[in-house]
Amino acid sequence: MTNTFWQNKKVIVTGGSGFLGSFVVEKLQARGAADIFVPRSTQYDLRKSEDISRVLADYKADIVIHLAALAGGIGANMGRPAEFFYDNLMMGVPLLHQAWQKGIEKFVAVGSICSYPKFTPIPFKEEELWNGYPEETNAPYGLAKKMLLVQSQAYRQQYGYNSIYLMPVNLFGPRDNFDLATSHVIPALIRKTVEATERGDKEIPAWGDGSPTREFLYVEDAADGIVTAAEKYNGAEPVNLGSGYEISIKDLVEMTAKMTGFTGKIVWQTDKPNGQPRRALDVSRAKEYFGWSAQVPFEEGMRRTIEWFKENRK
């Protein structure tokens, strides 16, 4: 099947050197995009309007895929809520505005599952997005990202601008951030269990009580979903990107321990926050609107991630 969509397209991928971004760039290249620009934060501070103008002037793009974000786990969100709000808002809103002004034909806004209300019926359906306030620990981040949805729909309504909004669930995979101070749950667990096994520790700590559930999406699947939507989806409605696979944190910790060879005890720190009680997505809209669904089974993704960590941490 020859796909010519990307052949003469010039694409800006903000955050393209990050975890998800690096895979999005690879997927674009695999589909024939030869002209991709990744603005580096050392040259362009996307929180500054003048730097956004410079990016769009320096590189005349057809499509902008906006992935750049200040993101992190519960601890990072609680410690720096003001930064998580301001940085994400100021990277997104002026960028979409200037992309419309400059006549860039399509804007792909990548939001977050943190935008959903704290108590959302399971599985999360996109139409539930406005039925409550997000979980407090990550609300500033979730709301800053959600403003891009409001903006996308407003610009489409008033200007006929083609901006789409996607919401990936928690991602994991090779090249993730394994720094224990800022990482998300899967890379943190992998690092903790691998290092504990090597040291011969008898126990490891885990936040909360293990009861919350989460859904995870393998990073290559997420990248494929974003590129597929950029190519095929031109609608106003927000779209979940997920695997449709829900797992409790307790089961996740036990699976990670087993796969990394850790045989000690898991000590639950029940004084630490659990975060949102349950998270699982309705993933039917992506299938219906642009024919996408996740392909990599969870255990297979975990195996690849653990292997990558062991090979690359030196």
Is 212 a member of any domain?
Answer: no
Would you say 69 and 59 are in contact if contact means Cβ atoms under 8 Å apart? Answer: no
User: Could you give the residue numbers annotated as active site?
Assistant: 141
Is 23 a member of any domain?
Answer: yes
Answer with the residue of higher pLDDT: 181 or 166.
166
Percent of the chain with pLDDT over 90: 88
Is 165 a member of any domain?
Answer: yes
Is 202 a member of any domain?
Answer: no
Nearest to 3 by CA among 232, 215, 251: 232
Looking at the predicted structure, is the pLDDT value of residue 1 above 70?
no
Is 129 a member of any domain?
Answer: yes
Range of the domain at 49: 10-172+219-244+280-295
State which amino acid sits at residue 203: E
- 120-129 mean pLDDT: 95
Give the total number of structural domains in the chain.
1
Is 267 a member of any domain?
Answer: no
Looking at the predicted structure, is the pLDDT value of residue 73 above 80?
no
Q: Where residue 153 sits, what CATH number does that domain have?
A: 3.40.50.720
Is 16 a member of any domain?
Answer: yes
Kindly report the pTM of this predicted structure. Answer: 0.94
